[in-house]
Structure 1
Amino acid sequence: MRVSEAINSRRSMRVFKPDPVAKADIEWIIENANRSASNGNLQPWKLYVTMGAARKRLSAAILKAMDEGDNGPGAEYNVYPQEFTPVYDARRKLVGKQLYTLLGVPRGDAAGMLKQFRKNYEFFDAPVGMILCVEKRMGNGQWIDCGIFLDQLMLLAREKGLHTCPQAAFSRYQHVVRRELGIPDDQIVICGLALGHADPDVVPNSLITERAPIGDFTTWFAE
């Protein structure tokens, strides 16, 4: 698979098959992603991989916390900007509308939206659920490094015929994730990553988000 093919076939899948993923394939993905660029070669990423019963226990613990109103302190970083300018707000609303239209959840259906949102914490039934963290002492540059590492995980998964879904939603319940996986207090829970076999023809997985033309964000200098 060419790199461009991996990039263009990668999208956030929200329905996974129960088919297991070989541990050897997961290790291969992580080992190759570990070649990701990082400033000063710090390699700041911390990765926690859950499978089988462990993955189900983590999901059950978070859903239990939701049901009991145990919201904890919330995310340790701003997942979104505190204020959206029109262009970014329009993009966010468009993808939300497209997704929930495919899911058959009409606008204003709070119960339907919550039901779908809860599936995040089950990793959309993917057999593998990863949690990406970084030490609190690290700077903004190391967050960039972790983003590169995350992207490499997703692209390498495509080479193995697998799909993924990065999930910032796990940062909301970082106190539960931390407790269940024994994550030290000096690490920040950045996001989760669902990994497995996904059927691209299932309706929720057919969403291909729009991308802005390069002229909207690229400035050229030739002289």
Structure 2
Amino acid sequence: MSAPEAAVMAIEEARVAAPNPIDETLTSRFACRAFCDAPVARQTIEEILRVARYAPSGANIQPWHVYVLTGEIKRSVSAALLEAHETARDDHVSEYKYYASDLPDRYLRRRQEFGRLFYGSLGIHQADAEGRSRQTAKNYSFFGAPVGLIVTIDRRLEVGSWLDLGMFVQNVMLAAAGRGLQSCPQETFAKYHRILRPLLSIPAEQMVVCGISVGKARVQSQDRLMPRADIDEFATFLGFED
């Protein structure tokens, strides 16, 4: 190896070894389910959304809308959803299907592992339906977060725009993490779209996709509970030289 080649390799190795703030933000973000009540200023949320809007979208359609809730309106929404969850949960269903009816084995195993790890970490037995329901109910108070977002998409759009929306939601969570906040994406809000629609004046053409809780976590960092598949399980490399 020539001296110039060795120098280039040393620079590359140093670059790879150096802490990358984007990588740190990505890997330190977690789905927070326990927030403290420290307020988050409107300006901070505006900054987060102003950054998140740079998510890519096909033909620059930007297929997202966000309802930002705090204070009394958030409490009213939480109260209505908690009542529905307690008294009429079987009467409500999302307008879209999140999981396939027949999950292939690989994904079914991961979903079952999630249930074991998540509820096990809370001391809730898999067969404890009431305990699981009580934990689900915490979603509707935004896990104690001071700010809740309800995210919608125009129902007239196609599946490609849902891909764009997912990138926007990720941007929101990463922009929050970059400001010392944590978040939790919550599909379960979609189930109660009939309650949310009049409370938030959501027009008929908008479909409720999810909620996002945003705030200061009670614990700023935590061990990652959910394992991630290694890259050899999901990546195929072609054309690279050894």
- Structure 1 length as normaliser, TM-score? 0.94
For 1:89, the equivalent position in structure 2 comes to 108
For 2:129, the equivalent position in structure 1 comes to 110
Work out which of the residue numbers 52, 76, 81 in structure 2 matches 1:62: 81
Shift of 1:68: 2.9
Q: Are 1:105 and 1:113, in contact at CA under 8 Å, matched by a contact in 2? A: yes
Amino acid at match of 2:96: Y
For 2:38, the equivalent position in structure 1 comes to 19
Give matches, 1:63-212, under 5 Å.
63-69=82-88, 71-200=90-219, 206-212=223-229
How many correspondences in the alignment? Answer: 221
For 1:6, the equivalent position in structure 2 comes to 25
Q: Are 2:117 and 2:225, in contact at CA under 8 Å, matched by a contact in 1? A: no
Higher relative contact order (CA 8 A, sep 6+): 1
Alignment partners' CA distance in 2, 1:70 and 1:157: 31
Q: Are 1:131 and 1:192, in contact at CA under 8 Å, matched by a contact in 2? A: yes
Alignment partners' CA distance in 2, 1:18 and 1:28: 20
Superposition RMSD in Å: 1.6
Shift of 1:124: 0.5
For the residue of structure 2 that corresponds to 1:75, the secondary structure is coil
Kindly indicate whether residue 237 of structure 2 is the aligned counterpart of residue 220 of structure 1. Answer: yes
- Give structure 1 stretches of 5+ with no counterpart: none
- Give structure 2 stretches of 5+ with no counterpart: 1-19
Which of structure 1's runs of 4+ aligned residues deviate more than 2 A? Answer: 70-73, 199-202, 205-208
Shift of 1:5: 0.9
For the residue of structure 2 that corresponds to 1:21, the secondary structure is coil
Q: Are 2:38 and 2:216, in contact at CA under 8 Å, matched by a contact in 1? A: yes
**201 and 102 in structure 1: CA distance in 2 versus 1, 3 angstrom threshold:** farther
Shift of 1:208: 2.7
Alignment partners' CA distance in 1, 2:115 and 2:36: 23
For the residue of structure 2 that corresponds to 1:148, the secondary structure is helix
Amino acid at match of 1:118: A
Give me the identity figure in percent. Answer: 36
Alignment partners' CA distance in 1, 2:78 and 2:55: 29
Shift of 1:81: 1.1
Alignment partners' CA distance in 2, 1:220 and 1:105: 41
- Structure 2 length as normaliser, TM-score? 0.87
Amino acid at match of 1:195: V
Alignment partners' CA distance in 1, 2:90 and 2:71: 25
For the residue of structure 2 that corresponds to 1:108, the secondary structure is coil
